[in-house]
Structure 1
């Protein structure tokens, strides 16, 4: 592992290609990456020497069609061809742009918008997907003259003798497009200096000083999949096992099985991943797995739930999982990845706070048991980083305990979005009121508060619902709703507000998908009543309109985040696929439109 106590500014910025040169020379036959296929059968593997050879071959081929600084789209399903293409770009000095592989029409507009914005000279894919990728992108105006290259892991040619591109710290290491949960995806310009700083921050925050084996299944076009599951273990010089996100979604028990089989130390994912494993508890327990090697289970990318942490720990304590293994953290593509994290081997910080207080914008002690909810700490600011809570309207810094927008500054924060100067200035170059000569801050768009140095995240600013001056966090409403009645699909609901432009009257709407196996049998009236009552009981707010949807109806980003603004638009356009009532079902009478349950 690289020396975590060194000063990167004095020794220069380590580059990925420089590290690959070092590893290939010192440990050529060590396996760097392994990809597991169905049933976790070892399907693809790359030693450092093989990665070095293949990346040079395709990097030299890339040079024939590009100049340093040009962009190359990487459009792959999960697999090691993606890794080869990424390092080939670094050999040639070309900027890799990971992109979700397009299947069907669900993400077509998003993919085309990203491709046009990136205006890449080359498109990489694997052999199996080459013709499909060409058919998808070649009709676009920017890609009529683009070069399409398919990666073959069985390429047997010798590596070229040409020298690699020597990257400067300010040059781009890659462009990471955001998930687009509240806006059109934008390309974050991550420099080599940004990447090196965040990889070092992550190594220190995770306490990775023992060459830990990693297991990861997140998509490689997503910042978590690329950085946390590929680049961080590579940076440390450790073994990385990758899995397909689709395989995990359909057979989640294969994730803990891989951790057990390969004695992995670090592995993680969003909160819903742990919920999926809880649902398959018996199958995982019966498989005879041993999770005692698992020392750090990061939980990020969506709200961390105290109930999930407790249930997962209780479910798998008997096979070696410990409560201190959980590692809630906070990050986003606009900060390269990691922003805050805790201390390894410490149990997550749970703070009882007042529901009413959170609704009013402050974290205060609960008045009674009904008023209590658990806030989960997502760690502290990392080395060389400044974290502030700021009023998103006035830009005034806020004291501990008050909810505001999370702002962050540090060497891992990029300069902006690709080809989007106006939004870059607003997002990446914010200044706190009264500190005109102060640091340049990234506005994360997330709300939260700090207590005793610990960050607690409460939700997205753009998704926040305001009811008579009180904050209503949609993710909390959705979490309550999906558990209110059997047959409702997890992580597939959207809560939002609709305001009549003439009267100003606000209607609160909850759209919730039904599981595919329950769409014919679910009692729509009973389910909607139960959802409304449970939301009123838990959140003390009345949702006027509750609609059940066909499976797959809620629009999501490529990484699975709910697109609430798009759901609201489809609701207003009357294009949501509402679950049809059976002939025997009469429509439910609308309840009185009360704005809040405490009126």
Structure 2
């Protein structure tokens, strides 16, 4: 096959990509040099919304149709070109293009309403013929499996779920088929010897939306196990971060089986190496045992139905325990509040690992009996219009989505497709799972009004996993109710006072409705006292849908439960019995007497040209010097020029002043996909704050993710180490430890003499320092000691600077040489000059030496170092001056801080961990240790020319406090 890059098609494709990139980033430098191998997101600056437009333009201008997977898996124009050339997936590089394929062009008949959705094939009956109302199950049914059995006994061949795929493809799943396949899989789960799952065991399910997920989920229920839905990785470029988060969930759940698809089995085995409980990784086909299953357990109403993991940090996953009774109470409450019946048809693209899709749509169809049309989430993300076209096609009456989906449709729909849509059938458009924006509701209803969409169908709702899924619903058919409140009164006093009609700064808050029957909500202050209406406070709830807590997480459960009530974590107020949400309790920013909610500022910043839509996080951060709370905005952008980035920062700051009356303290522009999000797309502000305060957010453009093969290798090595520690006994562990020590000495014996010669002979200082850094990195890589590096972006690339680090072993300087830029000189003790082998290379590297015991000479040395700093040098000090075997941070000497205070230059505190265990005390035998180098925020001396000694003392104390807090060792300076 000829090289696609040489074809006219390649030029056409690049023309489309370049044109869209120019529209996104007018005047961006270097665009003309970008080609087929450059990244769509990192280099061309095409975010998720831009990809929607890109795929539409490619299909419209080039007459092709790309598979929906192209939306997430194609990383470069080259990937897209291969798709258009018709290459099979197997011929494409697995790093970025697995499972992508081209499909025939879409028909252009009037029934093609989705810009790529074909009408039903001739042999297929119409949706109206396939779907018919059925008898609704009685409320005496106590479990989900009993509910499915009831349906099968009465109308087993009735279509329960239709899986609507690409083009014309669809698959009907009847109640009987779902039960048969689920029970066959249950038999396989229970019949695998030592690796078999038993009743009560957790079964992790990492599958995309489709028949196999449904069979695995209900199969686990029939086996008496507890399903644990996991979200599958969307992109290989994010594989490592994804799998580390999943590993935390699997370990917390103590899952014994992972059900996944064949392509992800390798990842599953990597996961099993890190999770001791995981005994088997299998596909649905491998677990399914056709034929009559053996007797299966019968779960009870109070048994756990499944664990719904809320999105949190890797180290503290929170698995919401939901029983059959919880789920059925919630589903019946929502059924009564919404008046949904078996006559309704529900279209959903919501992922099945998310509670809104799994409980609200999938389980809702089982309990109520309405017909469910399931689409892949990719189908919506790639072509938002396909969602609406499917509602039109099936004459659906109900659908649900988070606010961002309605915003996407309001801005990205194709006018020609809209002209053929009839949405008059859509009577309930649920909007939930994230804050509902009043402007989005207005834009969506206005845009869809010509299609017959009734504004009264828009139904904002509120719920959370801890209450199964739903908690408050408005009256059906009323439409949104929006409260305009005085912004100052709300932020300063917590009072939701009605704003005057002419108040342009009024805050518009959308009602989420009234609490479900048999449930309660209240708003309380910090002490738990119930607040009157229109007073902002903490939202609490209770009722039969409420969880009993988080699985294997008593600390988080204790924070959740407050007597008979549960804390939602949300802030809001009640008015006329309806709930109005104002923000998340943990996200509130207190500054200048104002309580600032981040959502509004994020939404406004999202509109700034050059900012990646949905890539903004606003959060509070603690100033390390003063302890005051700062307002930080983190914004993703593909802009690389200084002028463009400065414009973005200025515009965001202006918006902050307009919205909240206060400027920001810091605006950090980061590459795309730096803002952390949950599996459902919510901003993880607390996690972003943690990274910011640790200095781990890179403000430099063009950060490149590690190649997938390197991520997989890293995961494999991590798992191997964990599994080895589980398996080896003390004797074998001793042998392995000594083997590593000998290997480490062999590496150092080979690299140190070579580096010594090269450093001594190299003609320039810059070359000598690069040789030292490369040699140190090579030695650490070969021994597996390369430290985890955090916060290095805080260390300036040029200019005078002082770095101070704790001292715990002879190898500390080697570690710092490997991780710091090759522009630093080290300050060491005078005694090093007595060793000619060490003295010669150290002098060639322009290291400095100070006298520790002669005070007069020490003052002279300090003045000499101060002169070097003023000439622009960057110096590294170990202010403890020595180290010892016993853990603990020793007192800091003043030299480094006097130099910084006198020279008015910043001090960066840098914490080394793990080096004391690596080479304890005077020992010559290294022991393997996990190392970390973490830089703190630069500290600036107070501008006090008359009292620089006080400024130096303050610098010393601040730097030592930072290192002590990060070190995890006792204070040995008392």
**What TM-score results when the alignment is normalised by the length of structure 1?**
0.88
Name the counterpart of 1:245.
Answer: 377
Deviation of the 1:538 alpha carbon: 2.2
Separation in 1 of the partners of 2:135 and 2:469? 19
In the alignment, what sits opposite 1:475? 599
Q: Which ranges of structure 2 fall in alignment gaps of 5 or more residues?
A: 1-133, 703-974
Change (3 A) 1:120 1:289: same
Pairing of 1:226-241 with structure 2 (within 5 A):
226-241=358-373
Contact 2:187 2:289 in 1 (8 A): no
Task: Provide closer, same or farther for how the CA distance between residues 228 and 52 of structure 1 changes in structure 2, counting only shifts above 3 A.
Answer: same
Select the residue among 485, 492, 497 that pairs with 2:615.
Answer: 492
The structure whose residues are more often strand, as a share, is 1
Map of 1:63 onto structure 2: 190
Please report how far the alpha carbon of residue 335 of structure 1 lies from its aligned counterpart in structure 2 after TM superposition: 0.7
Name 1:311's counterpart in structure 2: 443
Unaligned runs of 5+ in 1: 432-439, 582-599
Conservation of the 8 A alpha-carbon contact between 1:189 and 1:416 = yes
8 A contact 2:342–2:371 mirrored in 1? no
Q: Does the C-alpha gap of structure 1 residues 424 and 504 become closer, same or farther in structure 2, counting only changes over 3 Å?
A: closer
The Cα offsets for residues 327-366 of structure 1, whole Å up to 9 and x where unpaired, read as 1111111111101111211111111111112202110021
Q: Tell me the equivalent position of 1:327.
A: 459
Answer whether contact 1:137 1:143 (CA < 8 A) is retained: no
Does the residue aligned with 2:273 lie in a helix, a strand or coil? coil
**Which residue number in structure 2 is paired with residue 417 of structure 1?**
550
Question: Cα–Cα, structure 1 residues 193 and 280, in superposed 2: closer, same or farther, change >3 Å?
Answer: same
Which residue of 2 is the match for residue 116 of structure 1? Answer: 251
Pick one of 272, 284, 287 that aligns with 1:151: 284
Cα separation, partners in 2 of 1:538 and 1:425, compared to 1, 3 Å: closer
Give the superposition deviation at 1:60. Answer: 1.2
Provide the rounded CA distance (Å) in 2 between the counterparts of 1:177 and 1:492: 23
Most deviating of 62-71 and 134-143:
134-143
* Superposition pairs of residues 185-334 of structure 1, within 5 angstroms: 185-283=317-415, 285-286=417-418, 288-334=420-466
Alignment correspondent of 1:463: 587
Aligned in 2, Cα 1:520/1:255: closer, same or farther, shift over 3 Å? farther
Give the match for residue 596 of structure 1: none
3-state SS of 2:276 partner: helix
- In structure 1, the partner of 2:632 is 509
Q: Within the alignment, does 1:28 sit opposite 2:149 as a pair?
A: no
Indicate if the aligned counterparts of 1:124 and 1:150 stay in contact, CA closer than 8 A. yes
CA contact (8 A) 1:85 1:124 kept: yes
Please say if 1:395 is aligned against 2:528.
yes
Give the aligned partner of residue 96 of structure 2: none
**Greater C-alpha radius of gyration:** 2
1:592 aligns with none
CA distance in 2, matches of 1:181, 1:452: 37
The question of whether the paired residues in 1 share the 8 Å contact of 2:483 and 2:498 is answered with no
Secondary structure of the residue aligned to 1:444 is: strand
Q: Secondary structure at the match of 2:471?
A: strand
Q: Distance in 1 between matches of 2:171 and 2:277?
A: 30
Please give the alpha-carbon distance, in whole angstroms, between the structure 2 residues aligned to 1:183 and 1:532.
34
8 Å CA contact 1:126, 1:152 repeated in 2: no
Q: 1:137 aligns with which of 254, 271, 276?
A: 271
Query: Counterpart in 1 of 2:174?
Result: 47
CA–CA distance in structure 1, aligned partners of residues 422 and 287 of structure 2:
35
Deviation per residue, 1:492-537 (Å, 9 max, x gap): 10111222244233332111112x5x66798222222112112211
Task: Tell me the C-alpha RMSD between the 2 structures.
Answer: 2.3
Aligned to 1:165: 297
The whole-number CA distance in structure 2 between the counterparts of 1:422 and 1:497 is 24
Larger displacement relative to structure 2 (146-155 or 103-112): 146-155
- Which of 526, 532, 537 pairs up with 1:404? 537
TM-score with structure 2 length normalisation? 0.55
Choose 404-413 or 147-156, whichever is displaced more: 147-156
Match of 1:589 in 2: none
d(CA) in 2 for partners of 1:451, 1:171: 37
Q: Secondary structure at the match of 2:378?
A: helix
Question: 1:276 deviation in Å?
Answer: 0.9
1:76 is the counterpart of 2:207: yes
Query: What is the alpha-carbon distance in structure 1 between the residues aligned to residue 319 and residue 389 of structure 2?
Result: 35
2:261 aligned to which of 121, 126, 133: 126
Deviation for aligned residue 1:182: 11
What corresponds to 2:37 in structure 1?
A: none
Partner in structure 1 of residue 508 of structure 2: 374
Cα deviation, residue 143, structure 1: 4.1
Of 575, 583, 594, the residue aligned with 1:451 is 575
Please say which of residues 461-470 and 274-283 is displaced more in the overlay. 274-283
Secondary structure of the equivalent of 1:253? helix
Q: Which has the higher helix share?
A: 2
CA distance in 1, matches of 2:623, 2:682: 27
Number of corresponding residues: 559
Choose which of 510, 515, 534 in structure 1 pairs with 2:655. Answer: 534
Q: Could you tell me how far 1:133 is from its partner in structure 2?
A: 4.2
Distance across 1 between alignment mates of 2:227 and 2:458: 32
